[in-house]
């Protein structure tokens, strides 16, 4: 079977909720009296993990999102007797709402994130390691939905089919497109940005025809998986936004583009981006419909970081001054930026501009910010800047003001008294 045919047959999560709801009502319409389905334990994830360890069974966790139509469509399937008979005999099962505190603990403890909803995770009962991940897709019939859910369970039981076996399969040369997409979802869920970047390059080698990139499956890949603006699929997307906007809701197109750009700026290349790279991202934000000042706000920090890496302090100063002229900053932003320059800038040429930024920060501060930690921090940075150019009297005056503000704000004064000691 050719890759193009495989691509057309890929069953991905539908983008439009009305498609899902149609399937949902179809399932409900076909529903008969429901028998016992999966026996989901109460309690929390930790207690479920302990129960799985005692039973020496793989722990199955369904992550669902309140209000998610895909999750609503799946719920009656998980209550089917056939599904329950299989899962209850093979797994200890638990479900968790994506925004719950238990879910946050699960993500933190296991180092995972959620790519889409609903999601299935399977954990080894002894080690607690994630061994398999799956995302059930829409099926045209009740029987198809049942079989798909059971298939995910069977895959979790088979070491050769688990997602934990994917690195070995990839190393051995498996380049089936469906496999690559599932592997990419797994690497995204486990926050392996380097591997995701590699897989995206492989996917882009196969998804090359405009009709495929613009298709629902192609848009799914762009929306959920592509993490670099220089990926060929991303390049086509940004060069042909009008075609995507004609096929998909404007918000979904905008969200897809912004996700690609954020992953570009804060993902695997975050510490290696050139000014040209970031400028490209800024222009792409504008393409998506953001105003130039808002787009600048999305990229300004990455631009400054790039200038600092290149030891181009003067250019960093000029860029921030240009930004302030078009997008006035808040006290919090002035406090952050002044600290950034004090910590990252080379030489002292930036100090005159920083002192002006301090005055601007004081000027824009709201009444309730006059005696706040942010204001104390701003005066602290003023003191550090004066100290760097040898103006100890001014540095001492600034830090004394910082201490007074910190005391009024009832925050820890140690960072400010430490600076005071340095300028005595």
Furthest-apart CA atoms within the chain: distance in Å: 83
CA distance 279 to 275: 6
In this prediction, residue 25 carries a pLDDT of: 36
H helices of 118-176, where?
142-157, 166-171
- Give, rounded to a whole angstrom, the gap between the first and last alpha carbons of the chain: 78
Q: Kindly write down the DSSP assignment for every residue of 330-389, as one continuous string.
A: PHHHHHHHHHHHHHH--SSTTHHHHHHHHHHHHHH--GGGTTSHHHHHHHHHHHHHHHHT
Q: Report in angstroms the alpha-carbon separations of 131 from 53, 72, 190.
A: 15, 26, 11
Per residue of the chain (424 residues), what is the pLDDT tens digit?
A: 344 434 544 545 433 333 333 333 344 344 434 458 999 999 999 999 999 999 999 999 999 999 999 999 999 999 999 999 999 999 999 999 999 999 999 999 999 999 999 999 999 999 999 999 999 988 889 999 999 999 999 999 999 999 999 999 999 999 999 999 999 999 999 999 999 999 999 999 999 999 999 999 999 999 999 999 999 999 999 999 999 999 999 999 999 999 999 999 999 999 999 999 999 999 999 999 999 999 999 999 999 999 999 999 999 999 999 999 999 899 999 999 999 999 999 999 999 999 999 999 999 999 999 999 999 999 999 999 999 999 999 999 999 999 999 999 999 999 999 999 999 8
In this prediction, residue 137 carries a pLDDT of: 85
Residue 374's φ and ψ, nearest 5 degrees, are -60, -40
CA distance 231 to 360: 41
DSSP label at 164?
A: G
CA distance 215 to 9: 12
Q: Report in angstroms the alpha-carbon separations of 152 from 120, 126, 132.
A: 8, 21, 9
DSSP label at 122?
A: E
Q: Report in angstroms the alpha-carbon separations of 317 from 52, 73, 131, 321, 348.
A: 57, 54, 49, 6, 11
Domain boundaries 3-157, corresponding CATH code: 3.40.30.10
Of the candidates 57, 125, 124, 120, the one whose C-alpha atom is nearest the C-alpha of residue 91 is: 57
Annotated domain spans of the chain: 3-157, 347-424
In this prediction, residue 35 carries a pLDDT of: 52
- Do 3-157 and 347-424 come out as alike in CATH topology? no
CA distance 306 to 379: 26
**347-424 classified as CATH 1.25.40:** yes
CA distance 257 to 281: 10
Tally helices (H) and strands (E) across the chain. 23, 4
CA distance 232 to 99: 34
Residue 320, burial from CB neighbour count under 10 angstroms (0-12, 13-18, 19+): buried
Tell me the two tokens of residue 72: 């609503």
Q: Provide the whole-model pTM.
A: 0.83
CA distance 5 to 1: 7
């Amino acid at each position: 079977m050719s890759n193009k045919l495989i691509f057309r047959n890929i069953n991905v999560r539908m983008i439009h909720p009305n498609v899902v709801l149609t399937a949902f009502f179809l399932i409900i319409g076909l529903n008969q009296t429901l028998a016992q389905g999966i026996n989901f334990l109460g309690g929390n994830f930790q207690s479920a993990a302990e129960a799985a360890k005692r039973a020496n069974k793989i722990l199955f966790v369904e992550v669902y999102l309140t209000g998610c139509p895909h999750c609503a469509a799946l719920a009656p399937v998980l209550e089917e007797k056939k599904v329950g008979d299989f899962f209850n005999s093979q797994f200890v099962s638990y479900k968790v709402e994506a925004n719950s505190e238990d879910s946050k603990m699960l993500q933190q403890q296991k180092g995972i994130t959620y790519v889409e909803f609903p999601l299935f995770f399977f954990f080894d009962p002894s080690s607690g390691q994630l061994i398999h991940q799956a995302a059930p897709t829409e099926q045209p019939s009740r029987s198809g939905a049942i079989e798909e859910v059971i298939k995910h369970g069977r895959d979790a039981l088979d070491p050769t089919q688990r997602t934990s076996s994917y690195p070995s399969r990839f190393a051995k040369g498996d380049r089936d497109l469906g496999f690559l997409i599932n592997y990419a979802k797994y690497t995204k869920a486990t926050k392996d940005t380097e591997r995701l970047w590699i897989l995206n390059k492989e996917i882009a080698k196969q998804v090359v025809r405009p009709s495929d990139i613009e298709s629902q499956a192609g848009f799914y890949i762009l929306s959920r998986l592509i993490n670099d603006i220089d990926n060929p699929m991303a390049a086509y997307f940004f060069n042909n936004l009008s075609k995507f906007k004609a096929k998909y809701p404007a918000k979904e197109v905008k969200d897809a583009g912004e996700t690609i750009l954020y992953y570009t700026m804060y993902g695997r290349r975050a510490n290696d981006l050139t000014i040209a790279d970031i400028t490209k991202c800024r222009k792409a934000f504008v393409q998506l419909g953001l105003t130039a000042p808002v787009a600048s706000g999305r990229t300004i920090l990455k631009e400054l970081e790039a200038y600092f890496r290149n030891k181009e302090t003067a250019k960093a100063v000029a860029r921030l001054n240009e930004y302030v002229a078009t997008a006035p900053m808040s006290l919090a932003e002035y406090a952050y930026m002044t600290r950034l320059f004090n910590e990252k800038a080379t030489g002292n040429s930036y100090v005159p501009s920083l002192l002006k930024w301090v005055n601007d920060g004081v000027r824009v501060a709201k009444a309730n910010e006059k005696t706040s930690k942010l204001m104390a921090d701003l005066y602290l940075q003023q003191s550090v800047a004066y100290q760097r150019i040898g103006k100890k009297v001014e540095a001492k005056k600034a830090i004394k003001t910082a201490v007074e503000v910190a005391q009024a704000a009832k925050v820890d004064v140690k960072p400010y008294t430490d600076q005071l000691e340095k300028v005595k």
